[in-house]
Amino acid sequence: MLIKSRRLRGFLRTLASVLTTLFGLLLVTFIISRMLPADPVLAIVGDHATEDYVARVREELGLNKPILVQFWIYFTHVIQGDLGQSIRTSQPIAHELMNVFPATLELATLGTIIGIILGIPLGVLAAVRKDTMVDHVVRFLGLVGYSVPIFWLGLMGLLVFYAKLDWLPGPGRLDFGYEDMITPVTGLMTVDTLIAGDMDLFKNALGHLILPASLLGYFSLAYISRMTRSLMLGQLSQEYILTARVKGVSEARIIWKHAMGNILVPLITVIALSYGNLLEGSVLTETVFAWRGLGLYITDSIFGQDMPAVMGGTIVVGAIFIVINMLTDVAYRLLDPRAK
């Protein structure tokens, strides 16, 4: 009974934390949108509309009401799943976000997988071979990944692999002639083409995905390898590692079982943060590759002064980080008995 009571209190604390965070996100996003100089009414009616028409539209949108009343109206709509209508397209924002988010999910997920598969072994290798040429090369690769603008890498990638060598397709998620040949099911182009059973479309979608995902994977690799190296160095200097070596335990077992087991929990946080950053921070990559995802949608909305769409996209990004943090906490409890 005591354990169940503790679990219930823990669940209620988590739920209260999530709801408070979401409410704070909504409040901050709403306040910032009202502080910007862009007038959403003028963006709808144009600069040449009469004052009477502008006033009527402002009243219809509820923008003539006190700010607290406006926020309460917006809050009640959001908790019902209504993010409003886009000024540019007059379409429900929630529907548009559902259409563009799978493209970002597909891109960021593959980028994170690349970062994990390459970044963790490189970070471990750099820690084990500290201050050797291998360590210097891995640290240099990480430094380049942090320092070089990702949009420049994207342009160079298109120039080399698309324009010069013709090894990979160009921007977009499919070639122009293929865009209307696939019926969206999941929104993940590689998955939808497999569901359709069209291998030519699948190869085309995969070809378009490789270059932008590799760039994001390199960015993720730089972060994950650097943090893995730091965490591993902290463990390799511990006394239990020296004790294991004295007892004759193999070096591979020491590294991949003992040391890796102790850095696994903080490493999950590193991977989760990297994944979250790719989900919400791939704006430049999506812009360079004309990848119709969440980042490009928010960017286009900003340039179009479509503040309801910007607010909706911001809320989705915040919700993504909240979900990732919750999943990270669950992983903690599964991997570390002390967290229970």
Below-50 pLDDT ranges, the chain: none
Domain count, the chain: 2
- Looking at the structure, do residues 124 and 236 belong to the same domain, yes or no? yes
Range of the domain at 44: 2-78
- Looking at the structure, do residues 203 and 166 belong to the same domain, yes or no? yes
- Looking at the structure, do residues 105 and 30 belong to the same domain, yes or no? no
- Looking at the structure, do residues 123 and 227 belong to the same domain, yes or no? yes
For residue 220, being part of any structural domain is answered with yes
- Looking at the structure, do residues 53 and 98 belong to the same domain, yes or no? no
DSSP character for 177? G
Angstrom distance (rounded) from CA 294 to CA 298 = 6
Residues 334/105, Cβ–Cβ less than 8 Å: no
Residues 105/189, Cβ–Cβ less than 8 Å: no
The whole-number pLDDT of residue 24 equals 85
For residue 17, being part of any structural domain is answered with yes
- Looking at the structure, do residues 301 and 232 belong to the same domain, yes or no? yes
The whole-number pLDDT of residue 203 equals 92
The whole-number pLDDT of residue 322 equals 83
CA neighbours closer than 13 Å in the CB half-sphere of residue 70: 17
CA neighbours closer than 13 Å in the CB half-sphere of residue 124: 19
Residues 95/203, Cβ–Cβ less than 8 Å: no
Query: Rg of the Cα trace of the chain?
Result: 24
The whole-number pLDDT of residue 38 equals 67
The whole-number pLDDT of residue 28 equals 85
For residue 16, being part of any structural domain is answered with yes
Q: The domain that contains 251 carries what CATH number?
A: 1.10.3720.10
- Looking at the structure, do residues 133 and 230 belong to the same domain, yes or no? yes
- Looking at the structure, do residues 146 and 224 belong to the same domain, yes or no? yes
Provide the strand spans (E) within 177-292.
none
For residue 86, being part of any structural domain is answered with no
- Looking at the structure, do residues 26 and 54 belong to the same domain, yes or no? yes
- Looking at the structure, do residues 27 and 173 belong to the same domain, yes or no? no
* Residue ending a domain, choose from 26, 52, 78: 78
For residue 101, being part of any structural domain is answered with yes
- Kindly report the pTM of this predicted structure: 0.85
For residue 310, being part of any structural domain is answered with yes
DSSP character for 227? H
* Residue ending a domain, choose from 47, 78, 109: 78
The whole-number pLDDT of residue 336 equals 65
For residue 83, being part of any structural domain is answered with no
- Looking at the structure, do residues 187 and 151 belong to the same domain, yes or no? yes
- Looking at the structure, do residues 216 and 322 belong to the same domain, yes or no? yes
The whole-number pLDDT of residue 276 equals 85
The whole-number pLDDT of residue 207 equals 92
For residue 114, being part of any structural domain is answered with yes
The whole-number pLDDT of residue 226 equals 93
